[in-house]
């Protein structure tokens, strides 16, 4: 349902929303605040907003975040209720945690098993399907990212990086305190991850 806020109040509400998302917002979020289609077109033509992708805008005068690409594609992962569902993971997460020099050509994004979009998947993304529990994620650059433990295990199981690189990443994460004893214990309770963790730790002693 559209709001009936006066223009100044509506602008303030949009700014506050965009501020929490690095200056970005979706068409549906704007519509909820009272910006109908014709108003959205006007603001783009007036250069107040920049249309970054289908259904995703950015406030033109808002300072660009350090990683605008992450916010853009996180918003792209929204479901039918306009809620972003993606979590950056695998090699992308390792890179964001600064645990590897690998610079993947695509952004790894894990989305729920049921995630579907009626448009082609952008070439910049490599989607993974599965659940990421709240305890397996943290916020970096304003977006959800799998924690160091989950990222290392995902890449180990996937086999997309050499094992010595991942063992070194594990050592470094442990040294920094990025991996906790609780996370290790939880991972050991899962058969596949527990087996992977055992193999990783064999080479780090």
Taking the C-alpha atoms of residue 80 and residue 205, their distance in angstroms, rounded to an integer, is: 47
Phi/psi region, residue 65 (left: phi>0; alpha: psi -120 to 50; beta: rest), is beta
Check residue 67 and give its pLDDT: 96
Is 38 exposed, middle or buried (CB count within 10 Å of its CB: 0-12, 13-18, 19+)? exposed
Query: In the structure encoding, which two tokens stand for residue 35, read together?
Result: 């910006």
User: Please, which residues bridge with residue 184 across strands?
Assistant: none
The pLDDT > 90 percentage for the chain reads 89
pLDDT for res 36 = 95
pLDDT in tens, 174-204: 999 999 999 999 999 999 999 999 999 986 6
Look-up of token digits 């690998």: 102
* Backbone dihedral angles phi then psi of residue 60, each to the nearest 5 degrees: -60, -35
Q: Any idea what DSSP says for residue 62?
A: S
d(CA 78, CA 196): 31
Provide the 10 A C-beta neighbour count for residue 192.
Answer: 10
Share of the chain above pLDDT 70, in %: 95
Sheet holding 24-26, edge to edge: 24-26, 56-59, 49-53
Residue 99 to residue 88: CA distance in whole angstroms: 15
Q: According to the model, what pLDDT value does residue 111 have? A: 98
CA distance 112 to 144: 14
- What number is the average pLDDT over the span 73-99? 97
pLDDT number for residue 8: 85
Q: Which two tokens stand for residue 113?
A: 């098993």
Over residues 127-144, the mean pLDDT reads 97
Which pTM value belongs to this model? Answer: 0.92
Q: Name the burial class of residue 148, with classes exposed (0-12), middle (13-18) and buried (19+) by CB atoms within 10 angstroms of its CB.
A: buried
């Amino acid at each position: 349902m559209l709001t009936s806020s006066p223009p100044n109040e509506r602008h303030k509400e949009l700014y506050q929303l965009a501020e929490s998302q690095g200056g970005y917002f979706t068409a549906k979020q704007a519509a909820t605040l009272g910006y109908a289609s014709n108003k959205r077109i006007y603001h783009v033509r007036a250069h107040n907003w920049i249309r970054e992708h289908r259904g995703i805008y950015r406030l033109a005068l808002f300072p660009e975040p350090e990683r605008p690409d992450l916010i853009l594609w996180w918003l792209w992962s929204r479901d039918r209720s306009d809620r972003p569902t993606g979590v950056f993971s695998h090699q992308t997460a390792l890179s964001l945690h600064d645990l590897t020099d690998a610079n993947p050509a695509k952004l790894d994004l894990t989305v729920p098993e049921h995630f579907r979009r009626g448009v082609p998947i952008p070439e910049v993304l490599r989607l993974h399907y599965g659940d990421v529990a709240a305890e397996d994620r943290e916020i970096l650059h304003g977006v959800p990212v799998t924690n160091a433990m989950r990222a290392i295990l995902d890449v180990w199981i996937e086999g997309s990086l050499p094992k010595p690189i991942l063992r070194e990443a594990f050592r470094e994460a442990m040294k920094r305190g990025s991996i906790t004893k609780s996370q290790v214990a939880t991972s050991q309770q899962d058969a596949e991850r527990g087996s992977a963790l055992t193999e990783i730790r064999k080479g780090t002693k």
